[in-house]
Amino acid sequence: MKTYSSRQLTAYIAVLLTSLAALFILLTWWLSPGIFLVVVFIALFFIASYFYIMFVINKYISDKIKPVYKTIKDLPLSGKKLAEKSSDSTNLLSNVKFEVEEWAKTQMKEIERLKELERYRKEFVGNVSHELKTPIFNIQGYILTLLEGGLDDPKINLLYLKRTEKSIDRMISIVEDLESITKLESGELKLNMIRFDIVQSVKDVFEMEQWQADERKISLEIQSLPQRPVYVKADRNRILEVLTNLIVNGIKYGRKNGFVQVSFHDLDENIMVEVTDNGIGIEKKFLPRVFERFYRVDKSRSREQGGTGLGLSIVKHIIEAHNQSINVRSVVDQGTTFNFTLEKAK
């Protein structure tokens, strides 16, 4: 339904009344010229009264609405500045309606954002406590056994001390990973951008993780090995961390007698690095969450492999800190491919 401003309504009513008054005056003049002046006076008085009343009403509305309107305009709207609009009395009500609707929309978005942050906070705290609880309880159990006489038993004292050390290492790993993510998110961790050969970096990671690959009889390969160095501009230590996480991930969840392949693709200004395995794969519905903190597709198997559940989250933060992107694609029982980009060095 079409709406009209108070000025438009006033104009339409004034035209209608003036037309009626003019018609009445003409009829009066034709029927009885003697009372013409009286009729004209009454008509003019009526029209003047109408406009005066409209003026008083508009002023009353304006005086009541303007403070509310000013308050709404002064409210912070999450950085979004509304378009400036005329604040005269004729458009005041429509302006207030517009501002209130925009304010309400912004507040709803803010409420939804806060609810999401609260959900994330609860989930994160629950995950951290759960991850730390397992090694703590293990350590407690081992130490209690040793204190209750196991320390004097040569068959179990060294074994339990080694298991305690392993649980402590797991706790340290979780804390260090959390610290890394916090620094990356807050910007405290500055990247040391240098020019280096990404192919040689992959070879270095292969060399460090060859023992894990040998245990699972998985071959580590560089597909279509470039004949020349492939130089990128990035923080080498952080990219080594990315490569290590992705390659070890492929080894842990790959098939025995399978492979982990790394390939390089020239994308004009960037180099894309792909890490592919022929392992168990990931269901499509889980792919959007693989980079979340502590998220595991197969929780029991992941803990058996000794992961903290933070590796892929750290990888994502490191790549995004380089203003680059990382993606994943996977097919169940066929394998998984992670790819990320890095700036090509000149």
Residues 34 and 157 grouped into a single domain: no
Res 198: pLDDT: 94
Residues 319 and 201 grouped into a single domain: yes
pLDDT digits (tens, 9 = 90+) for 293-310: 767 665 444 444 555 567
Helix or strand holding residue 338 (H, E):
strand 335-344
Residues 270 and 158 grouped into a single domain: no
Within a domain: residue 68? yes
Which domain range does residue 268 map to?
193-344
Burial of 71 (0-12, 13-18, 19+ CB in 10 A): exposed
Within a domain: residue 1? no
Residues 221 and 317 grouped into a single domain: yes
pLDDT digits (tens, 9 = 90+) for 258-274: 899 999 999 889 999 99
Residues 199 and 242 grouped into a single domain: yes
Which letter does DSSP use for residue 25 in this model? H
Within a domain: residue 160? yes
Give percent of the chain above pLDDT 90: 21
Within a domain: residue 245? yes
Alpha helices in 76-156 (DSSP H): 89-147
CATH of the domain at 177: 1.10.287.130
d(CA 186, CA 62): 48
Residues 157 and 178 grouped into a single domain: yes
Within a domain: residue 258? yes
Q: Where a domain ends, among 186, 207, 234?
A: 186
Residues 27 and 156 grouped into a single domain: no
Q: What are residue 83's phi and psi, to 5 degrees?
A: -65, 140
d(CA 163, CA 268): 50
CA–CA distance from 285 to each of 217, 250, 254, 288 (Å)? 30, 20, 20, 7
What's the whole-model pTM score?
A: 0.59
